[in-house]
A and B are shown apart, each in its own frame.
Chain A
Amino acid sequence: MLDEKIVIAKHIHKSFGDNEVLKDVSLSVHSGEVVVMIGPSGSGKSTFLRTLNGLETIDKGQVMVNGQLLYDKKVNLNQVRQNIGMVFQHFNLFPNMTILNNVIMAAISTKHFTPEKARQEAKKYLDMVDLSEKMNSYPAQLSGGQKQRVAIARALEMEPKIMLFDEPTSALDPEMVGDVLEVMQQLAQNGMTMIIVTHEMGFAKRVADRVVFFSDGMIQESGTPEEVFDRPASPRTQGFLERVLNV
Chain B
Amino acid sequence: MKFVVKLVSAIIAMVSLAILVPPHKAQAASHYTIGTETTFVPYAIQGKDGTYNGKHPGIDMEILRAIAKNQHFTFDLKIMNFAAIVQALQSGQVDGNMAAMMVTPERQQTLDFSHTYLNAGLSLATKPGSSIKSYKDLKGKIVAVKTGSTSETYATSIQNKYGFTIHHLDSTNTEINDVTTGNADAAIDATLSLQYTIKNGMKLRLIGTQQNVHPVAFAVKKGENAALLQKFNKGLANIKKDGTYAKIMAYYTGAKAHTNANIATDRSYLGIIKANAPQFKAGITMTIKLTIVSIIIATIVGVFIGLFGVVPSRLLKGFHGVYTFIFRSIPVMVLSFFIYMGIPSLIGHKIPLFTAGVATLVLENSAYIASFVAGGIKSVDRGQMEASRSLGVTYLASMRKVIMPQAVRTMAPSFINQFIIALKGTSILSAIGLAEMTQQGTIIISQNMEGFKVWLIITAMYLVLIGCLTLLSDRVQKHYSLAN
Which residues of A are interface residues toward B (Cβ below 8 A)?
53, 55, 78-82, 84-86, 88, 90, 92-96, 105-106, 109-110, 112, 138, 151, 154-155, 158
Contact = CB atoms under 8 A, between A and B. Distances in A.
Instruction: Choose among A53, A55, A84, A94 the residue with the greatest number of B CB atoms under 10 Å from its CB.
Output: A94
The list of the 7 closest CB pairs from A to B, nearest first, reads A106-B391, A82-B392, A92-B387, A92-B383, A86-B390, A81-B392, A96-B405
Given A96-B484, A105-B401, A138-B484, A53 B390 contact: yes
A81 to B, nearest CB: 4
A106 B386 CA distance: 13
Contacts of B397: 109
A108 to B, nearest CB: 10
Given A96-B405, A109-B394, A138-B484, 5 more contacts: A88-B386, A92-B384, A109-B393, A110-B391, A110-B393
A245 B394 CA distance: 42
Contacts of A82: 391-392
A98 B393 CA distance: 18
Contact of A88 (B383, B405, B406): B383
Contacts of A112: 392
Contacts of B240: none
Contacts of A154: 391
Interface in B350-402: 381, 383-384, 386-394, 397, 401-402
Contacts of A79: 392
B384 A94 contact: yes
B392 A96 contact: no
B392 A78 contact: yes
In this complex, which of B381, B384, B386, B392 has the most chain A Cβ atoms within 10 angstroms of its Cβ?
Answer: B392
B401 A81 contact: no
Interface string B198-228: 0000000000000000000000000000000
A86 B389 CA distance: 10
24 contacts: A55-B389, A78-B389, A78-B392, A78-B393, A78-B394, A82-B392, A85-B390, A88-B383, A90-B383, A92-B383, A96-B405, A96-B406, A105-B388, A105-B393, A106-B388, A106-B392, A106-B393, A109-B393, A109-B394, A110-B392, A112-B392, A155-B390, A155-B391, A158-B392
B260 to A, nearest CB: 61
A155 B401 CA distance: 17
Nearest to B398: A109
A151 B388 CA distance: 11
Contacts, number: 68
Interface of B: 381, 383-384, 386-394, 397, 401-402, 405-406, 409, 484
B389 A81 contact: yes
Given A92-B384, A109-B397, A55 B390 contact: yes
B259 to A, nearest CB: 66
A118 B430 CA distance: 57
A92 B381 CA distance: 9
Contacts of B394: 78, 109
A28 to B, nearest CB: 21
A156 B397 CA distance: 20
Between B387, B391, B397, the greatest number of chain A beta carbons within 10 A of the residue's beta carbon is seen for B391
B392 A94 contact: no
A17 to B, nearest CB: 18
| Centre residue among B386, B390, B394, B397 by max chain A CB count within 10 A | B390
A119 B406 CA distance: 23
A96 B384 CA distance: 11
A247 B401 CA distance: 44
B384 to A, nearest CB: 6
Contacts of A93: 387
A92 B386 contact: yes
A94 B397 CA distance: 14
Given A105-B393, A106-B393, A94 B388 contact: yes
A100 to B, nearest CB: 14
Contacts of B390: 53, 55, 81, 84-86, 155
A78 B389 CA distance: 7
Contacts of A88: 383, 386-387
B479 to A, nearest CB: 15
Nearest to B387: A92
A27 B386 CA distance: 23
A94 B393 contact: no
A94 B484 contact: no
B398 to A, nearest CB: 8
A92 B403 CA distance: 12
A105 B401 CA distance: 8
A103 B389 CA distance: 14
B411 to A, nearest CB: 13
A110 B393 CA distance: 6
Contacts of A85: 390-391
Contact of A109 (B384, B386, B401): B401
Contacts of B392: 78-82, 106, 110, 112, 158
A92 B394 CA distance: 17
B408 to A, nearest CB: 9
Residue from B383, B388, B402 whose CB has the most chain A CB atoms within 10 Å = B402
A7 B59 CA distance: 90
A78 B394 CA distance: 6
Contacts of B406: 94-96
Contacts of A96: 402, 405-406, 409, 484
Contacts of A86: 387, 390
A95 to B, nearest CB: 7
Contacts of A78: 389, 392-394
Contacts of A151: 387
Nearest to B409: A96
A124 to B, nearest CB: 17
Contacts of B386: 55, 88, 92
Nearest to A81: B392
Nearest to A94: B402
Contacts of B401: 94, 105, 109
Contacts of B409: 96
Contacts of B402: 94, 96, 105
A154 B388 CA distance: 10
A110 to B, nearest CB: 5
A92 B391 CA distance: 12
A84 B389 CA distance: 11
A241 B327 CA distance: 59
